[in-house]
A and B are shown apart, each in its own frame.
Chain A
Amino acid sequence: MDCGNCKQLNRRMTKEYNQTGLSDGRNKIDEAPEDLSALLLEFKDYAIIRIDPAGYIRSWNLGAEDIYGYTHPEIIDQHISVFYGAKDSGKAANVNFSLQTALAAGRYEHEEWQYNKEEKPFFANIIITALYNADGTLKGFAKVTRDITREKTLEEENKILHEQLEEKVRQRTRELEIVNKELEAFSYSVSHDLRTPLRAISGYSMMLKEDYGSKLDGECNRIMDAILSNTKMMGQLIDDLLTFSKMARLETIYKSIEMNRLVQSCQEDLTNQPSRHVITIAALPACSGDASMLRQVWFNLLDNAIKYSSKNEKPQIEIGAKDDPGFHVYYVKDNGAGFDMKYASKLFGVFQRLHRQDEFEGTGLGLALVKRIISKHGGEIWADASPNKGATFYFSVPKNKQ
């Protein structure tokens, strides 16, 4: 082991010891060169090689023997281009480049394929540092090499796995896009093709009623009315179903929403004729959400409250809000028909109803749609009710959603 090198390292270490205040006695520091040279000599994972200014190997450690496969006598005085092997002699020219760079910049780091004595390639991380004598003349170079074939292989395997995964994602996305397109085409055709014959049924029934109503007896007219109200119901069902399926595809556009204004506009739409309902609306905190979606939420909840309390002599609806950690919670409370809480789990299901059609009309999609919108916003919806004592519907919207 060359001790000029060791002295340099020793100087640096002494400096560091002193800087970090770990120096508790000169003896320890004086022992360092011996420790260090043994350490460097036997350090197995790194090849540490000293090269003279012309590129010839002057000394090396046991790690170098392990990595390159040459014995100490075999390698001393060899030129470092020997590490490129016969197969890769072209690269030997690069050796000069690496030494020149180390000379110019003080340090040169590089990763490349090198060869051991058996001409077996391994992927090497190489650091070359220029070494100087006390008088400032070039002493040579220190070359530290580490075999990183394993890391390189892992990295490449990872890369391949990653690419395979990406390809799989792309393929799935393509498949999903196709399915989505089909679904859209289906919705389109539902909306167009189902509405057309329905309009014909409703239209011809109406013609019959208009042109021959006076000639038909009461029972005939009752049947005619039943046909008409059912076509109306089916039209509503198709529209609701389309709104529901469209909601899944719509992107949520977050804006700051004045909830009171939304509620007000829903109330105006729902109670344009003089209404018996007394509706009180408290001050509601603004929230971040999609205006048209949240309007649909208020519209459906208010519409339900009005509908289910319409049989009460003094229908009352209360709209308010309360504060929860991280969420704004809003509620719509009515004094209407309510429902038994044992059916609460069915409330928000598609086509689920807790009242018969002859009690209260509905398609069973309103609350399912509300739930879907609230879920999209990252909130929750729940209800509290008892039969004939009214119902309260709560929904929450996260406060910090952007």
Chain B
Amino acid sequence: MKNHFNEVEILLVEDNLSDAELITRALRKVNLANHLVHVKDGEEALDFIFATGPFTGREKENIPKVILLDIKMPKVDGIEVLRQIKANSETKRIPVVIMTSSKEEQDIIRSYELGVNSFVVKPVEFNDFAKAVSELGLYWVLINQPPA
């Protein structure tokens, strides 16, 4: 398996390619995009996290410092990905940040019930969005101290 999958700092789960590009660009500006992997839906995210499917052979113990997770995605949605991550003893400590367009109350409540670490509503305006992304990237990758 390709080596760079074992040095992932940020796993970006986002089906919308424009949003993914905007997020990557904002993170690149604060030098956080070097160890970023982008997967395009929930199924791919689960394969990556649990080293299955196309990611068989990836070293599972190399966990990302943070997972940025969209909610509304085809096939497996973000809430389900979150549930599986938090239900598994090997992955439950990975910080997960939900990033979504809607501030639907039920989504927020459900996410916190499942143990999400942060819930961010994507601002429509680019500047606000870029600022939000870079701030949370800096926090989770550089400031937050994960358990050893």
A interface residue numbers (CB < 8 A to B): 188, 191-193, 195-200, 202-207, 228, 231-232, 234-235, 238
- The distance from the CB of B28 to the nearest CB of chain A, in whole angstroms, is 12
Q: Which residues of B contact A196 (CB under 8 A)?
A: 16, 18-19, 101
Contact between B104 and A203, CB atoms less than 8 A apart: no
Contact between A203 and B100, CB atoms less than 8 A apart: no
Interface size class of chain B, counting residues whose CB lies under 8 Å from the partner chain: 10 to 19
Contact between B126 and A188, CB atoms less than 8 A apart: no
Bound together, the chains give a CA A280 to CA B88 distance in angstroms of 58
Bound together, the chains give a CA A235 to CA B18 distance in angstroms of 17
Contact between B22 and A203, CB atoms less than 8 A apart: yes
- The distance from the CB of B31 to the nearest CB of chain A, in whole angstroms, is 17
The 6 closest A-B pairs by CB, nearest first: A235-B124, A200-B18, A206-B126, A191-B102, A203-B22, A192-B102
Contact between A203 and B129, CB atoms less than 8 A apart: yes
Q: Which residues of A contact B89 (CB under 8 A)?
A: none
Q: Which residues of A contact B18 (CB under 8 A)?
A: 196-197, 199-200, 203-204
- CB-CB nearest in chain B for A235: B124
- The distance from the CB of A360 to the nearest CB of chain B, in whole angstroms, is 20
Bound together, the chains give a CA A231 to CA B18 distance in angstroms of 16
Q: Which residues of B contact A205 (CB under 8 A)?
A: 126
Contact between A203 and B101, CB atoms less than 8 A apart: no
Q: Does B3 contact A (CB under 8 A)?
A: no
Contact between B124 and A199, CB atoms less than 8 A apart: yes
Given the interface contacts A192-B72, A199-B19, does A235 sit within 8 Å of B102 by beta carbon?
no
B interface residue numbers (CB < 8 A to A): 16, 18-19, 21-22, 25, 72, 100-104, 122-127, 129
Contact between B101 and A202, CB atoms less than 8 A apart: no
Q: Which residues of A contact B122 (CB under 8 A)?
A: 195, 199
Contact between A231 and B124, CB atoms less than 8 A apart: yes
Contact between B124 and A191, CB atoms less than 8 A apart: no
- The distance from the CB of B133 to the nearest CB of chain A, in whole angstroms, is 11
Cross-interface CB contact of B124 among A193, A204, A232, cutoff 8 Å: A232
Contact between B22 and A195, CB atoms less than 8 A apart: no
If A191-B103, A196-B101, A238-B124 are given as contacts, then 12 extra A-B residue pairs at C-beta distance below 8 Å, sorted by A number, are A188-B102, A191-B104, A193-B101, A195-B102, A199-B123, A199-B124, A199-B129, A202-B125, A203-B18, A206-B126, A234-B124, A235-B123
- The distance from the CB of B72 to the nearest CB of chain A, in whole angstroms, is 6
Q: Which residues of A contact B127 (CB under 8 A)?
A: 206
Q: Which residues of B contact A188 (CB under 8 A)?
A: 102, 104
Given the interface contacts A199-B129, A200-B18, does A192 sit within 8 Å of B101 by beta carbon?
yes
- The distance from the CB of A184 to the nearest CB of chain B, in whole angstroms, is 9
- The distance from the CB of A13 to the nearest CB of chain B, in whole angstroms, is 73
Q: Which residues of A contact B123 (CB under 8 A)?
A: 199, 235
Contact between A191 and B125, CB atoms less than 8 A apart: no
Bound together, the chains give a CA A234 to CA B100 distance in angstroms of 18
Contact between B19 and A200, CB atoms less than 8 A apart: yes
- The distance from the CB of A198 to the nearest CB of chain B, in whole angstroms, is 5
Bound together, the chains give a CA A234 to CA B18 distance in angstroms of 18
Bound together, the chains give a CA A199 to CA B129 distance in angstroms of 9
Of listed B25, B102, B103, residue having the most chain A CB within 10 A: B102
Bound together, the chains give a CA A377 to CA B129 distance in angstroms of 37
Contact between B129 and A191, CB atoms less than 8 A apart: no
Q: Which residues of A contact B100 (CB under 8 A)?
A: 192
Bound together, the chains give a CA A192 to CA B102 distance in angstroms of 5
Bound together, the chains give a CA A124 to CA B18 distance in angstroms of 81
Q: Which residues of B contact A238 (CB under 8 A)?
A: 124
Contact between B102 and A202, CB atoms less than 8 A apart: no
Bound together, the chains give a CA A228 to CA B25 distance in angstroms of 18
Bound together, the chains give a CA A203 to CA B18 distance in angstroms of 8
Contact between B125 and A232, CB atoms less than 8 A apart: yes
30 contacts between A and B (CB under 8 A): A191-B102, A191-B104, A192-B72, A192-B100, A192-B101, A192-B102, A192-B104, A195-B101, A195-B122, A195-B124, A196-B16, A196-B18, A196-B19, A196-B101, A197-B18, A198-B124, A199-B122, A199-B123, A199-B125, A199-B129, A202-B124, A202-B125, A203-B18, A203-B21, A203-B126, A206-B126, A232-B124, A235-B124, A235-B125, A238-B124
Q: Which residues of B contact A195 (CB under 8 A)?
A: 101-102, 122, 124
- The distance from the CB of A199 to the nearest CB of chain B, in whole angstroms, is 5
Bound together, the chains give a CA A202 to CA B100 distance in angstroms of 17
- The distance from the CB of A221 to the nearest CB of chain B, in whole angstroms, is 16
Q: Which residues of A contact B101 (CB under 8 A)?
A: 191-193, 195-196, 199
Q: Which residues of B contact A199 (CB under 8 A)?
A: 18-19, 22, 101, 122-126, 129
